[in-house]
Amino acid sequence: MNVAIIDYGMSNLGSINNALIECGGENVSIISNPEDFKNATHIILPGVGSFKDGMTNLKDLCWIKPLRKTVIEDKVPLLGICLGMQLLADKGFEGGEIDGLGLIHGTVEKLKPVDNKEKIPHVGWNEIYSKTKSPILENIPDGTDYYFVHSYHFIPRSVKNILTTTPYCGNFVSSVISDNIFGTQFHPEKSQRPGFQLLKNFLNL
């Protein structure tokens, strides 16, 4: 096992690195050069910040081509977390209309509260409910709480790509799936045991 965490300058990687090691990840490394991740068996795309800055950095650091190749052609499992999940989409609207990685069809738009009790950003612990069966959700019961902190959400074009939804702003999509590609809007590395369970499941893929 070679777990590669992509460092494109968009977040601290200490806690995800340590969480993966705690979860039994072997040869976990933070990779800042696209040349260095050829042997990866699992890829983590983390990220905090705006869609625009995220895509700009991925582009400037020459990540887009090797990332797409490894994930699409070599079918290496990828987990995008928070902004890393949003960047999987075709387009985002944070900081203007920006093209995403296009790995899962859909757009990233601002959350719309359904009543004045729902505050934006959506910050805190909230439940996830499975919409698609997947080994990545093994031993995670419906209603388990994960930690969220975001103002934008992923709207997949096809319902087939919805892995879980979360009861906020009219049940937004809190994680996505497409073959070997996964994305969670929540932070498994900040969600204690339930987060570790999800990371373990991912590493077992």
Contact residues: another protein, CB under 8 A: 11-12, 14-15, 17-19, 22, 48-50, 116, 118-119, 121-127, 139-141, 143-145, 147, 149-151, 167-168, 187, 189-197
Has 187 been annotated as catalytic? yes
Looking at the Cβ atoms of 113 and 158, the one nearer to another protein is: 113
Q: CA angle, 31 as apex, 25 and 34 as ends, to 5°?
A: 125
C-beta of 138: minimal distance to another protein in Å? 11
Contact 1, 37 (CB under 8 A): no
C-beta of 71: minimal distance to another protein in Å? 26
CA dihedral 182, 66, 1, 177 (to 10 degrees): 10
Looking at the Cβ atoms of 70 and 144, the one nearer to another protein is: 144
Q: Name the catalytic one among 42, 94, 150, 189.
A: 189
Has 62 been annotated as catalytic? no
What single letter denotes the amino acid at residue 194?
Answer: P
- Whole-angstrom distance, CA of residue 130 vs CA of residue 110: 22
Has 118 been annotated as catalytic? no
Q: Which residue has the tokens 């895509």?
A: 55
Active site amino acids:
82, 187, 189
